Structure 1
Amino acid sequence: MMRDVPSDRELMELQTSALFVSDRDGRLRFIREPGYEENELDPAPRLFMGRTPEGNVWRFRHDLPADLVRELEDLCRAEPVLPGFTTAADEPRNAASIRDVLAAHTPITAEERGPAYRVPGGVPVPENVVLISEDNAHLLEAHFPWKITSRASFRFAPIAAAVKQGSAVSICFCARLTQDAAEAGVETAEAFRRRGHAGAAVARWAAAMRQLGRLPLYSTHWSNVASQAVARRLGLVRYGEDWWIA
C-alpha cells in the first residue's frame, strides 16, 4: 500500500535520491541508472538544487574542494524559498553567483532546469497499453529494439508500452529507481508523436509503480515543451523545479 502523499520538500528529497548515487556524507557521486554497476555510471553534476515552495534541497559532488563547497553552501542557503512555482524565466536569484563560483573552479560544461511532478493516483489507463514481459517483448522490436537487450530492460523494472498496429509506439520505463520512488523515462516513435500515446504509457507505468509500492515521479526540462504537454494532459501535480550544473 502507498503511504500518504509526501510534502513537496519530501518529494524533492525522494527524487534527489532517485536521480543520484550519493556517499554517506550526502555528496553526489554518480547519476543513477537501473541495472548498472557504479563503475559504469556517469559522474553526477557538480551541483544539484531542487526548489519547492516548502524549502530547497541542494547537493554537491563529492570531489569539490572544501572551500568551494562552503562558498556554494552559503549561496544555496541564501537562496529564497519559492513563494509559488517558477517558470522558465524565473531562475534562482543566486544563479549568477553560483555559476561564477563553479566556473572559477572549472568551466561549466552543462546546465539544465525544469519542472518536477508526481503522478497522482487514479490516472485512467487506456486499453491499448500493456506491460512488457518475455511473452510480449516482440512488441518492442520495430521501434525500441535496444530496450530488449539493455541492462535496464523490462526484466529489471516494468516497461509500459502503448501499442498500435501490433507494435509498441511509445514506452515509459524507469529512468531512475530506488525502493521508494521511480522516475519516468519516456520515448515515442517519431511518426506517432502528439497523439496521446506517451501519456497513455506514463499512466500505465505509474500504476505499475504504485502496485510495487514506489512513488511515480516525472520531470523534464523547460525546453521540452512536448514533455510538459504530456504532464498537463495527465493532470500531473507539480511539486518543484530541478536545477543542475556540471
Structure 2
Amino acid sequence: MRYDERELLELHADVLYLTDARGRTTFTNEPDGAPAWRVLLVRGTGRVLWRLSDTVGDDLAAELAALLADEPPVTGFDAHEPPRHEQSYLDLLGGQAAQAWSGPAWYLPEADPHGPAVLIGPEERDVLRGGFDYVHDEYDALAPVAAVVVDGRAVTACRCSRRTDRAAEAGVDTEDGHTGRGHATAATSLWADAVRASGRLPLYSTAWTNHASRRIARRLGAVPYGTDWALP
C-alpha cells in the first residue's frame, strides 16, 4: 500500500507533538511529555510541513513562518540536506547548529519475521524489569511491546515511543552485551506487525548520526518519507 506524502508528514508531526487550537505544538506526545521544541521542520521530496511551539511569541512566529514557507523539499533521503534558512533560524532563536536535531523518517511495510522476538502482554511484563523498567512501568501508554527474552528477562524491547490513534513511532533498545545479534530488528519487526493489527501505521525515525538505527531500517525494508530538522 502506498501513502500520500502529505498524509505521512502530518502523521509524523502528530505523533511527535501535541498541539493546541492554533496548531502550535505544546508537549511531546509521550508519558510525562516535555515541552515541545520551538521549531519542527519535516521535508519530503514533494512537500514541506512545519510547526512552531506555543512558547514562540507571535511576532517572532511570523518571521519564522515566512522563512519556513520558503523551504524547498529535499532531493532525497540518503543524506542530510540542511534547511535553506538554517542560519536565520539559529540567529532568530539564539541557537547553535549543534543543538539542532536532524534525521530521516520511514514507515515500516509488512515484512517476514526477523527472529525470536515475542509480544509482551500485560501479564508478562515482569520480564521487562531490570533493563527496561520504564517500559514496564508505562506499559499501557507504550504498548504494543515486543521483546527478545533470554533466560527469563528481556534483553531487547521495542515499544511505542509515541502514538496516536492513526500511527505509532518505534522506540527500541538493546542491553549492552546483546547488540549485533539482530535482536533489535526482530523486536521492531514484530512490534510493527502488532501496530498494524491495532489499525495504526508503524513509523520509525532516527538521527543521521545513528548508523546502527539506520541499519535496522534498511533490514526491515523501511520506506522513507521525510526528514526532520528541529531546534529546542
Q: Same fold (TM over 0.5)?
A: yes
Q: Give the structure 1 partner of residue 189 of structure 2.
A: 203
The root-mean-square deviation of aligned C-alpha atoms, in Å, is 1.8
Q: Give the structure 1 partner of residue 126 of structure 2.
A: 138
Work out which of the residue numbers 3, 9, 14 in structure 2 matches 1:12.
9
Work out which of the residue numbers 84, 87, 94 in structure 2 matches 1:96.
87
Work out which of the residue numbers 61, 75, 82 in structure 2 matches 1:83.
75
The separation in 2 between residues aligned to 1:154 and 1:167, in whole angstroms, is 19
Q: Give the structure 2 partner of residue 244 of structure 1.
A: 230
The separation in 1 between residues aligned to 2:142 and 2:209, in whole angstroms, is 30
1:64 aligns with 2:56: yes
Distance 1:53 1:155, change over 3 A: closer
Distance 1:95 1:155, change over 3 A: closer
Conserved 8 A contact 1:132-1:159: yes
The TM-score, its normalising length taken from structure 1, stands at: 0.88
Conserved 8 A contact 1:86-1:241: no
Matches within 5 A, 1:168-207: 168-207=154-193
Q: Give the structure 1 partner of residue 144 of structure 2.
A: 158
Counterpart code for 2:108: V
1:167 aligns with 2:159: no
Counterpart code for 2:107: R
Conserved 8 A contact 1:128-1:164: no
Conserved 8 A contact 2:40-2:51: yes
Conserved 8 A contact 2:142-2:162: no
The separation in 1 between residues aligned to 2:141 and 2:22, in whole angstroms, is 32
The separation in 2 between residues aligned to 1:168 and 1:47, in whole angstroms, is 36
Work out which of the residue numbers 13, 17, 40 in structure 2 matches 1:48.
40
The separation in 2 between residues aligned to 1:118 and 1:133, in whole angstroms, is 24
Conserved 8 A contact 1:12-1:50: yes
The separation in 2 between residues aligned to 1:42 and 1:64, in whole angstroms, is 16
- Single out whichever of 4-13 and 64-73 deviates more from structure 2: 4-13
Conserved 8 A contact 2:142-2:159: no
Counterpart code for 2:82: E
The separation in 2 between residues aligned to 1:139 and 1:19, in whole angstroms, is 28
Conserved 8 A contact 2:145-2:160: yes
Q: Give the structure 2 partner of residue 119 of structure 1.
A: 108
- In the alignment of these two chains, the number of paired residues is 231
Runs (5+) with no aligned partner, structure 1? none
The separation in 1 between residues aligned to 2:7 and 2:172, in whole angstroms, is 24
The separation in 2 between residues aligned to 1:31 and 1:137, in whole angstroms, is 25
Runs (5+) with no aligned partner, structure 2? none
